[in-house]
Amino acid sequence: MKIFVHQFNAELGAVDRNLKRIEGLLAELVPGETDLVLFPEMCDTGYAMDVIVERAVTWDENHLAGIKREAARLGATVVVGVSERTGNDVFNTAAVIDAAGKLACKYRKTHLVSIAPIHEDRYLTPGGALGFFAAGGTNFGVMTCYELRFPEVARTLTLRGARVLLVPTAWPAVRVEHLTSLLRARAIENQVFVVCAGRVGTDAGTTFSGNSMIIDPNGTVLARGSAGTEEWISADIDLAAVDASRERIAALDERRPRLYDL
């Protein structure tokens, strides 16, 4: 499976221009040579809470139409972090567009950042279900940025059958070492591939870390982006590595859930 990840730098508040740029970036990819493409968190609005609340749009406006067309042209799944307005609620959502150009899944971030100065929890509404979808015969889980700090999310998705965890982020550069450690830990402990799209640039005084990564079930980093540059990274992943890792170290089978008070 060929995975592409883009380290996007959103223009704050410029929803139409940002989505048009993503459409143009997808146009750079070649049909038949791409299976899945991942973009970072909140690519349409940028990542500043007041701007998100002001600029988030309802999906009735079909503002992802261009990206859907590109997904269909590529015959690839495209996952992009965007805003979503529903009535008085605004969600931090990962849109999953399938190889036919249809919205296959939308994952609304369930664990919102409560850390100053970001405070998603004061502006956004949390989702009520975890992110899980199937594509190309493979099960995927989606968890957004801050949710890397909740191992229960990754473990639950793994137990439901996810073999690849997709992580769109806008991770602060000041805590980049946390990002690196958490991504590798989630891969190793669940024996899954982890694919992270890291935002670059600066919004509202927060500089983002980049450092997109594609990590195998043993914690080996197959591809890694830079700290501050818009760029593509990619890797071919062999899903048989999930089974091979679990046969070598049977930690998932050796769990004793009756002992765990979670």
Among all residues, which ones are annotated catalytic? 41, 109, 145
What is the dihedral sign for C-alpha 84, 89, 87, 165? positive
CB 233 within 8 A of CB 223: yes
Return all residues near 45 (Cβ < 8 A) that are at least 6 apart.
10, 12, 13, 15, 18, 51, 52, 55, 56, 82, 83
CB 180 within 8 A of CB 221: no
Buried residues in 66-103 as b, exposed as e (16+ CB within 10 A): bbbebbbebbbbbbbbbbbbeeeebbbbbbbbbbebee
Rounded to a whole number, what is the distance in angstroms from the first to the last CA of the chain?
A: 34
CA 249 from centre of chain: 27
| Spatial separation of the C-alpha atoms in residues 125 and 110, rounded to whole Å | 8
The Cα-based distances of 208 to 27, 174, 227, 237, 243 in angstroms read 25, 8, 8, 26, 34
